[in-house]
Amino acid sequence: MGSSPPRLVVSDRSLTSDAASAAVRPARPYATPAPANVALNNNLRGAASTLPEQASACKETAGAVPLPLPREVTAEDYWTQGYASRIRLRVFRPETHADDAAAPLRRPGVLYLHGGGFVRGSIDDADAPARHLAATLPAVVVTVGYSLAPAAPFPAAPEDVYAALCCMADHANAWGIDRRRIAVAGHDAGGNLSAALTMIARDRGGPNLRAQVLIAPMLDPTMARMRPDHLADADNSAEVCADCYRQYLPRPTERVHPYAAPVESRRLQGLPPALLLTAPQDLLRTEAERYAACLIEAGVATQVVRVNEACHDSIAMSAVAQDEMTCFLRWHLGMTRQAAAPRKRRQRADRKDRTSIDPTGETPG
């Protein structure tokens, strides 16, 4: 990008950009086509409150009862080859209701990536949000047990995630996925990997992604965009974030690589529409909203929602975040229209799969 990102102006109702010709979009802009260059609309969802009050609310919501599912969801595990070892994929499929006579044979697909700061977490951590997405969209949701640092530092995790995306596309028919309608979503480190995946897929010529959802994402390994006034009341620790980045990116030069530090990227054109969900007291909020401004300047349709009564750990399963994510994905995956956009190029009928999978629930030897 040739110029600096547009300055962000926060008000009680919206987070706007002063970029030329940018217009503020209302909440839920998914009923009309989103223009390429739009302003950030930061819907401050939930009651306005002070940081201490929000912290108290977060403690309550962190242990909240899981959101009810509108339909049953089945799960099946597979294994495929990742960057340095085999990785587990878990495929969540929504059941077909009796009144779903007109339901398509293939549903949209969502690749959902768990958090944990690149060093913790597992595929099991993504079960609750994945099941909820699969049931409410409805869609086929795939989660990934990607490699963790320090045993497997960068670029193992983004390469594992790309292998998972290729596996989704290659086995779309078997899993009931419409390969023309795949999106990616992730929380925390999974948000970083989701952003990186959109760049990798663009740079390698596919598989194409229709949308990205970044939930309280870790986007800036330099940690230069954390606001000092957020540190005292933040619900996560700068020291913990720094330690995670040290283990994930042991070489200093990696900390500005666009696949590791999306906020440092200067080539954001051609990425899919983005939804960023942030929490007010999250240390990562500023870098997420800055990244959204960069996406807008690059011509990427972008929406930001700051969820007032959520914190870093609880935001992925908050009712507000799930509602926003569902509406956003339904629009960009063509679920509010009668047909998805036509494919840009035909797949070869004799194309060999890029990946192989083993349906098993046991760890490979």
In terms of DSSP bridges, do strands 211-215 and 140-144 run parallel, antiparallel, or are they unpaired? unpaired
Q: Average the pLDDT over 15-23 and give the result.
A: 31
Domains contained in the chain, CATH given: 8-359 (3.40.50.1820)
Mean pLDDT of the chain: 78
Q: ∠ CA 158-161-167 to the nearest 5 degrees? A: 145
State the DSSP string of 8-51: EEE-SS-EEE-STT--PPPS-GGGSPPPSS----B--BS----H
- pLDDT for residue 22 is more than 50: no
pLDDT range class, residue 70, cuts 50, 70, 90: low
**CA–CA distance, 212 with 192 (Å, rounded to integer):** 11
Grade residue 317 by pLDDT with cuts at 50, 70 and 90.
confident
Q: Do 297 and 3 meet the contact criterion of CB atoms below 8 Å apart? A: yes
Give the model's confidence band at 283: pLDDT under 50 very low, under 70 low, under 90 confident, else very high.
confident
Of 16-25, 34-43, 121-130, 262-271, the range with the lowest mean pLDDT is: 16-25
Query: Quick check: 132 and 322 in contact, CB under 8 A?
Result: yes
Helical spans, DSSP H, in 147-256: 156-170, 172-175, 189-203, 228-231, 238-248
Collapsed DSSP state (helix, strand, coil) of residue 192: helix
Average pLDDT over residues 342-358: 45
Beta-strand ranges (E) seen in 11-85 are 15-17, 73-81
Query: Quick one: tokens of 9?
Result: 């102006």
How many Cα neighbours within 13 Å face the side chain of 122?
2
What's the whole-number mean pLDDT along residues 137-150? Answer: 97
276 - beta bridge partners?
214, 304
Return the pLDDT at 105.
79
Specify which residues 10 forms β-bridges with.
15
201 SS3 class: helix
Cα 294 versus chain centre, distance: 17
Non-local CB neighbours of 230 within 8 Å, separated by 6+ positions: 281, 283, 285, 286
Tokens of 293: 């401004």
